[in-house]
Amino acid sequence: DAGVIQSPRHEVTEMGQEVTLRCKPISGHDYLFWYRQTMMRGLELLIYFNNNVPIDDSGMPEDRFSAKMPNASFSTLKIQPSEPRDSAVYFCASSLTFRNQPQHFGDGTRLSIL
Amino acid sequence: EDKVVQSPLSLVVHEGDTVTLNCSYEVTNFRSLLWYKQEKKAPTFLFMLTSSGIEKKSGRLSSILDKKELFSILNITATQTGDSAIYLCAVGGGGSQGNLIFGKGTKLSVKP
């Protein structure tokens, strides 16, 4: 079975550029989560969706970050304009429901903003 | 503020040793506690615990939850070099129904 698929695996770009990260959740999963992982702060939830609708975006650091889920099989996280402090590994995860179901993670996108 | 604290932050052992990793939490509306193993890429799911005192076991790994004292432990017996990873504890709960609150992880290094 295909797991959560993220692209690109690595992204290196200059500050000020727009960055778009992509995620395909596991088929049939109702919940999709975007996380950011850094050495200093660990794994932090940015936003999550239920049935394509954003439920909680309180973790989105600022207006430069936006996320969409146009359909059940695709989501994007966009940063515009990007800054060096956005450098991190961004993970997408999905789960069948939220109540007592594990989240399954993609391999992440390693983002470096120069 | 909801928080999950793991200890130790890092641990170095030799093959064959037994290790115990700790996770304590203060999370409102607790639903479940999960353990993940993270090697180079994605965190992979190990266990989910919802009830106190019931041990979950998978091969050499086992875990138990104490909801009264608000902690969990993850035991690994007869460690192998392949157990080297970061072990993450996450708690489902808090103000947002879908949220998992993660600890910073314990980095385990198993030497041959």
CB of A8 less than 8 A from some CB of B: no
Which of A56, A58, A102 minimises the CB distance to B34?
Answer: A102
Pairing of strands B10-14, B106-111: parallel
- Integer Cα distance of B27 and B101 in angstroms: 8
Between B5 and A40, whose confidence is greater?
B5
- Collect all residues with Cβ–Cβ distance below 8 Å to B65 and sequence separation of at least 6: B33, B49, B50, B51, B52, B53, B54, B71, B72
CA of B85 vs chain A CAs: smallest distance (Å) = 15
Which of A45, A55, A105 minimises the CB distance to B43?
Answer: A105
Instruction: Say if the Cβ atoms of B45 and A103 lie within 8 Å.
Output: yes
Burial B35-44 (b: 16+ CB within 10 A, else e): bbbbeeebbe
pLDDT, tens digit only, all 114 positions of chain A: 689 999 999 999 999 999 999 999 999 999 999 999 998 888 999 999 999 999 989 889 889 999 999 999 999 999 999 999 999 999 999 998 766 678 999 999 999 999
What pLDDT score was predicted for residue B21?
Answer: 98
Q: Which chain A residues have a beta carbon less than 8 Å from that of B63?
A: none
* Angle (CA) A34 A21 B47, round 5°: 35
What pLDDT score was predicted for residue B98?
Answer: 61
What pLDDT score was predicted for residue A1?
Answer: 63
Q: Which of B67, B74, B56 is nearest to B26 (CA)?
A: B67
- Comparing alpha-carbon positions, the chain B residue that sits nearest to A89 is B41
Mean pLDDT of chain B: 92
- Comparing alpha-carbon positions, the chain A residue that sits nearest to B32 is A100
- Comparing alpha-carbon positions, the chain B residue that sits nearest to A34 is B99
- Give the three-class secondary structure for A86: helix
- Integer Cα distance of B89 and B5 in angstroms: 8
Q: Kindly state the percentage of chain B with pLDDT values over 70.
A: 96
Which of A95, A99, A105 minimises the CB distance to B31?
Answer: A99
CB of A97 less than 8 A from some CB of B: no
pLDDT confidence bin for B80, thresholds 50/70/90: very high
CA of A105 vs chain B CAs: smallest distance (Å) = 6
Q: What's the number of CA atoms in the CB half-sphere (13 Å) around residue A75?
A: 35
- Comparing alpha-carbon positions, the chain B residue that sits nearest to A101 is B48
Instruction: Say if the Cβ atoms of B98 and A48 lie within 8 Å.
Output: yes
Lowest mean pLDDT among A100-109, B9-18, B65-74: A100-109
| Residues B53 and B111: beta-carbon distance below 8 Å | no
- Collect all residues with Cβ–Cβ distance below 8 Å to A43 and sequence separation of at least 6: A35, A36, A37, A91, B43, B88, B90, B102
Strands (E), chain A: 5-7, 10-13, 19-24, 31-38, 42-50, 53-56, 65-71, 74-79, 88-95, 104-105, 109-113
What pLDDT score was predicted for residue B85?
Answer: 97
